Amino acid sequence: MAHAIHYTITPHCLQHEYLVELYIDTPGPEGVCVSLPAWIPGSYLVRDFAKNIVEIAAQTSDGAPLAISKRDKDSWLLAPHDGPVIVRYRVYAWDISVRTAYLDETRAFFNGTSVFLQVHGAEACPQHVSLKAPQAADDGWSVATAMQAVEVDDDGFGDYVAPNYDELIDHPVEMGRLHRLSFTVADIPHEMVFVGHDGCEGLSIDFPRIAKDVQQACEHHVALFGELPPIERYVFMTMVVGEGYGGLEHRASTALLCSYEDLPRLGEDDVNERYRNFLGLCSHEYFHTWNVKRIKPAAFTPFDYQRENYTQLLWAFEGITSYYDDYSLCRTQLITPESYLELVGRLLTRLARNPGRLRQSVCESSFDAWTKFYKQDESAPNVIVSYYVKGAVIALMLDLKLRQASLSLDDVMRLLWQRYGDEETGVPEHNGVDGVQQAINDVAGQDWSMFFAQALHGTDDLPVAEHLVAFGVECSWRTAANDADVGGKPAKGLAVATGMRVRGHNGGVKIQQVLSNSAGEAAGLAAGDQLVALNDARVSLALWNRQLARARVGDIWQIHYFRRDELRSASMVVQAAPLDTCHLRLMDDDVLEESVAQRRHAWLGV
Ligand code: ZN
């Protein structure tokens, strides 16, 4: 049977290459253009995936060679031919991240953006895929993907179909020795697969507990939006490694990367910090099934896969999602309110330690994600703000402000879902008030443009603490205790700070970042400087930290260092440490007014 577009994928494990055969039934009289996307939705950086195509050739259906010429960095033009043509190409796959493709004899993973050439003019046609079992693979491989199966064997190898190109590249595929879990949410089958460390055999991981906990987080999101988007099933695909963390959202699945230490072992029943992070990651990516995969910027409808797609709204898609990822764990009692407030304390600490918050707004951060947030260098803490971090703080403030009027951010999300999610029409962002601001105004029943000007377009600090007090939560600030102190808990802080982030290197100390208006900046020190002596003694990281713990404001440190290959010296006047480390505390019940206690109960369940 002839299909309009049909890809056949054969993994060649030892070469780390996918062999792809693309069959095009009717290429058209002018020839046809094929290209790979330059970026993958959800990760806002031009990555030029076509650079991993290592061979490409075309032929007619009777085997005669057909001319194919490269047009630019990621597209090719096929010579005109009256009849079906086949493009055969190989894709190098050796990236363990969730954004591209990977292949060895233990595991195969790919995003469609890495392997499926877009056939220009045929994007709206059904796109057929045949997955072949790999050569030279370990035994026991099976397939996990949310793509619709047409005819597959017991292990999932065989034929799949996507209704169009956008969907085709939004169903990543995981293959290997998979540990599979399943549960149901809103009558829809959900599956979690784990690959790596031989399917996690022998690690005594408490998989039933993971399924139960993740199911609860999923049910929270479905209840919030009122329905699951129209999907046949949902798949969490998790690559388990020694050390690693990340996730990428898709329309009916997510690709996750975590450490086996993040997963609970049999017999453990507390939620430790690492498992809390893993649950937060699952919760985050699942929330995206609504927020960004369907409620999405108008700038993404349709996606332009060849270049940057600009939007000021990433603060809403990533920030609101970042607020709900942890908050939903508290709401479902997977974590305690105290544990949740620790996470909020850490969030506020991250923002406070980022001088760039005073220079870039979250809307600017969103718009420039492609060249700033995703291309960070040593200046990043001083010049940019994260639309994840500040976006989550804004979402928290919005929720608290709305809750004071007996409303909530849930109402805004439901309205956005009704307006833009069902039909995937795209959230408009022109004429000053974008679709997110409009939904907030409509829910609040008032014009919040003053707040938007301050929070979304401004760079002044936001009065978060005032809002928290209205919910019986006290916000305290102290100095950092050491380099590993991420906030969230009370601790005895240091008296002084250098305003520099350093690490041990070559037996000495290397400066990684120098914060604006810090002692290090005033002394002329810069990122990359290799410190060799402190007060005429050879410096190690241990000595540096000991001196820091004993120093007093106004002490003068003599520093010898190399800048590149040039020996230099500096005098640094040690400054008082900033109050940049936050922890939150539930205020005692007996000091709370009844209305405050009620609001807090509605928000945190205490
Ligand atoms: Zn996200």
pLDDT tens digits for range 100-144: 999 999 999 999 999 999 999 999 999 999 999 987 777 899 999
Per-residue burial over 340-376, b = 16 or more CB atoms within 10 Å of its CB, e = otherwise: bbbbbbbbbbbbbbbbbbeebbbbbbbbbbbebbeee
Dist. CA 452 → ligand 1 center (Å): 22
Give the pTM: 0.97
- Please give the average per-residue pLDDT across 233-257, as a whole number: 97
CA–CA distance, 504 with 183 (Å, rounded to integer): 46
**pLDDT (0 to 100) of residue 363:** 97
**pLDDT (0 to 100) of residue 38:** 98
Q: List, in order, residues 6 or more apart from 254 with CB less than 8 Å away.
A: 235, 236, 237, 247, 248, 282, 285, 286, 288
**pLDDT (0 to 100) of residue 137:** 73
Provide the 10 A C-beta neighbour count for residue 13. 19
**pLDDT (0 to 100) of residue 22:** 98
- Please give the average per-residue pLDDT across 298-310, as a whole number: 96
- Please give the average per-residue pLDDT across 532-551, as a whole number: 96
Dist. CA 240 → ligand 1 center (Å): 19
**pLDDT (0 to 100) of residue 482:** 92
- Between helix 320-331 and helix 409-416 the angle, nearest 10°, is 120
Dist. CA 73 → ligand 1 center (Å): 28
Dist. CA 395 → ligand 1 center (Å): 14
Dist. CA 356 → ligand 1 center (Å): 21
Stated as kind and residue range, the H or E segment containing 72 is strand 68-72
Residue 265, pLDDT above cutoff 50: yes
**pLDDT (0 to 100) of residue 323:** 98
Helix (H, G, I), strand (E, B) or coil at 286: helix
Place of tokens 């990281």: 541
Dist. CA 213 → ligand 1 center (Å): 20
CA–CA distance, 260 with 255 (Å, rounded to integer): 16
Confidence of residue 201 (pLDDT cuts 50, 70, 90): confident
* Mean pLDDT of the chain, nearest integer: 96
Between residues 606 and 55, the one the model is more confident about: 55
Q: Whose CA is closest to 360, among 378, 381, 346?
A: 381
Residue 41, pLDDT above cutoff 60: yes
**pLDDT (0 to 100) of residue 1:** 34
Dist. CA 472 → ligand 1 center (Å): 29
Q: Across 156-252, where does the E strand assignment appear?
A: 158-162, 173-176, 179-185, 188-195, 234-241, 246-249
Dist. CA 454 → ligand 1 center (Å): 24
Dist. CA 273 → ligand 1 center (Å): 20
Dist. CA 477 → ligand 1 center (Å): 28
Dist. CA 320 → ligand 1 center (Å): 9
CA–CA distance, 19 with 82 (Å, rounded to integer): 25
Dist. CA 285 → ligand 1 center (Å): 6
**What percent of the chain lies above the pLDDT cut of 70?**
99
- Please give the average per-residue pLDDT across 486-500, as a whole number: 97
Dist. CA 321 → ligand 1 center (Å): 6
Dist. CA 475 → ligand 1 center (Å): 27
* Cβ 221 vs Cβ 290: under 8 Å: yes
Dist. CA 388 → ligand 1 center (Å): 8
Dist. CA 247 → ligand 1 center (Å): 8
Dist. CA 175 → ligand 1 center (Å): 24
Dist. CA 292 → ligand 1 center (Å): 9
Dist. CA 501 → ligand 1 center (Å): 27
**pLDDT (0 to 100) of residue 475:** 97
Residue 324, pLDDT above cutoff 90: yes
Confidence of residue 2 (pLDDT cuts 50, 70, 90): very low
**pLDDT (0 to 100) of residue 428:** 96
Residue 69, pLDDT above cutoff 80: yes
Dist. CA 313 → ligand 1 center (Å): 13
Dist. CA 295 → ligand 1 center (Å): 13
Provide the 10 A C-beta neighbour count for residue 477. 17
Dist. CA 290 → ligand 1 center (Å): 11
- Please give the average per-residue pLDDT across 72-88, as a whole number: 96
* Cβ 134 vs Cβ 215: under 8 Å: no
**pLDDT (0 to 100) of residue 603:** 98
**What percent of the chain lies above the pLDDT cut of 90?**
93
Q: Which of 163-167, 201-205, 324-328 has the lowest mean pLDDT?
A: 201-205
Dist. CA 146 → ligand 1 center (Å): 19
Dist. CA 445 → ligand 1 center (Å): 29
Q: Give residue-wise pLDDT tens across range 368-420.
A: 999 999 999 999 999 999 999 999 999 999 999 999 999 999 999 999 999 99
Residue 466, pLDDT above cutoff 90: yes
Dist. CA 288 → ligand 1 center (Å): 7
**pLDDT (0 to 100) of residue 158:** 97
| Sign of torsion over alpha carbons 562, 564, 570, 574 | negative
Dist. CA 129 → ligand 1 center (Å): 28
Dist. CA 287 → ligand 1 center (Å): 8
Between the alpha carbon of residue 553 and those of residues 193, 441, 494, 499, 577, the distances in Å are: 54, 48, 11, 13, 9
Dist. CA 551 → ligand 1 center (Å): 41
- Please give the average per-residue pLDDT across 283-310, as a whole number: 97
Provide the 10 A C-beta neighbour count for residue 209. 16
